[in-house]
Amino acid sequence: MAKTSEHILIIDDDPHILLSAQLLLEANLNSVEVLDDPTKVKERMGSKPYDLILLDMNFTQGETSGNEGISLLKKIKEADPGISVVMMTAYGDLDAAVGAMKAGATDFISKPWENERLQATVNNALQLTQQNREITKLKSRQFEVTRATKTLGSKMIGQSKVMQGVMNFIQKVAPTDANILLLGENGTGKEVAARAIHESSLRKNEVFITVDLGSISEQLFESELFGHKKGAFTDAKEDRMGRFEAADKGTLFLDEIGNLPLSLQSKLLTALQNKRITRLGASQPVNVDVRIVCATNSNLRVMVEEGEFREDLYYRINTMELTIPPLRERKTDIGLLADHFLKKYARKYHKPNPSFTTNVLHHLEKYQWPGNIRELEHAVERAIILSDNENIGLSVFNVPLSSNKESNEFENYNLESIESWAIKKALLKHNGNVSHAAKELGLSRGAMYRRMEKYHL
């Protein structure tokens, strides 16, 4: 019979007990360790994970209350809530057994024991540990999936020649496990393309996890991506799985990777190269099997040349590279997209059978859409909300209605109109690169993003 791989620790101050239990259990288990000093249990648990601890209830000579063992039991369960602990005592005291079970013990066995009884107790306790860990892992993964996964309602829409090329590319690369880098301006639909890659891949029945690297602080980067153990830092009140573990067997979408500070790029590269991560506060690495899709509106080649992005990370993430075109380069798709958003928000806001007046689509196609699809979606949503009729006209659209000269775009000289215009022009000039546009406008990235959100760009 093959030995199982679980790790067991036996804690007792009697060397004869330790030796006899170790010899008995090693017949079926590969790893059975002993410890005669109970004060070192936390140190030992910190060095490696255990699946089961056999714990004596009394360590001081003449002590029979079991309080020493119960006190140590509480510390063990605090360090690892999922571990099974079987209490051992030479005094088959029922009150002590009840106290131990209330404190979190899995089972209770008297010394001297019957060998078959001890082996059966150990086997049952190991099964319980496995079940507890699987439940904890599922709960943690579900939490991360819920937190990191958005509604899967978006789909790629487009009949233009350039979009047909994008879709054909996706169909070719999706079934592989190649890492893919998606390039393009803000709002072009890079996340939608990433989802399309996932849903056409061999991992389509697994999870799709998104991470906005631009919104994660340097202090929380490792915790968010790799997870942490309870007590790893001040606010780590419980074990938590990171995005890499949550995406295991599925796809991990790293958005805004161009915003990742140089100091953190090496940590990401190590995880991608080794295909394993280590939670903060943990000593044992965890293997992860994820397909990586990254996206950015930055020119990573230029950033590599300027020393702002690691060259080895750049080549690691772009086995295949795909540029998502801006909306102004696929104007024949504007009508399809506008109709899609019209139906979407008509359902959301309970507006039955809305439609655009005949001149709306003509004007929408003439506009340059510096905010791309995201700006078009916001414009249609706003129009749905403001319109009192089934026929939605130009008056409820917050976009320029013609290609007049720039001076006519804000005839009322309202400061917000001028600011919105300036931001759109800066984004258009810099091909959607937020950092460069913000620099030209004299704004920080955070201030730029706040204004873009304010004006639905």
Question: Is residue 240 within 8 Å of 213, Cβ to Cβ?
Answer: no
Number of domains the chain is built from: 3
Whether residue 152 lies inside any domain: the answer is no
What pLDDT is recorded for position 430?
77
Question: Is residue 457 within 8 Å of 375, Cβ to Cβ?
Answer: yes
Q: In this structure, are 430 and 345 located in the same domain?
A: yes
CA 418 – CA 440 distance, rounded (Å)? 15
Domain-ending residue, one of 308, 325, 342: 325
Question: Is residue 162 within 8 Å of 329, Cβ to Cβ?
Answer: yes
Whether residue 252 lies inside any domain: the answer is yes
CA 457 – CA 437 distance, rounded (Å)? 13
Query: Which secondary structure element, helix H or strand E, spans residue 315, and what is its range?
Result: helix 311-317
Q: In this structure, are 364 and 303 located in the same domain?
A: no
Whether residue 314 lies inside any domain: the answer is yes
CA 349 – CA 354 distance, rounded (Å)? 11
Question: Is residue 357 within 8 Å of 392, Cβ to Cβ?
Answer: yes
Q: Is 356 left (phi over 0), alpha (psi -120 to 50) or beta?
A: beta
Q: Name the band, by pLDDT with cuts 50, 70 and 90, for residue 401.
A: low
Chain-centre distance of CA 95, in angstroms? 46
Question: Is residue 50 within 8 Å of 66, Cβ to Cβ?
Answer: no
CA 259 – CA 264 distance, rounded (Å)? 10
Q: In this structure, are 300 and 205 located in the same domain?
A: yes
Domain-ending residue, one of 89, 107, 137: 137
Q: Is the peptide bond before 352 cis (omega within 30 degrees of 0)?
A: no
253: helix, strand or coil:
strand
Question: CA 348, 352, 356: angle at the middle one, nearest 5?
Answer: 95
pLDDT in tens, 187-204: 999 999 999 999 999 999
Number of helices and strands in the chain (H, E) = 18, 16
Kindly state the average pLDDT of the residues 432-445: 82
Whether residue 149 lies inside any domain: the answer is no
Q: In this structure, are 202 and 117 located in the same domain?
A: no
Per DSSP, which regions of 79-125 are E strands?
Answer: 84-89, 107-110
pLDDT in tens, 348-398: 999 888 999 888 988 899 899 989 999 999 999 999 999 888 889 888 887
Q: Which domain holds residue 340?
A: 328-454
Q: In this structure, are 338 and 410 located in the same domain?
A: yes
User: What is each CA distance from 438 to 25, 370, 372, 430, 448, in whole angstroms?
Assistant: 66, 14, 18, 10, 6
Q: In this structure, are 167 and 315 located in the same domain?
A: yes
User: Is the pLDDT confidence value at 146 over 80?
Assistant: no
Residue that wins the pLDDT comparison between 207 and 432: 207
pLDDT in tens, 74-106: 888 888 888 899 988 776 566 777 778 888 888
pLDDT in tens, 227-275: 888 888 877 778 888 899 989 999 999 999 999 999 899 999 999 999 9
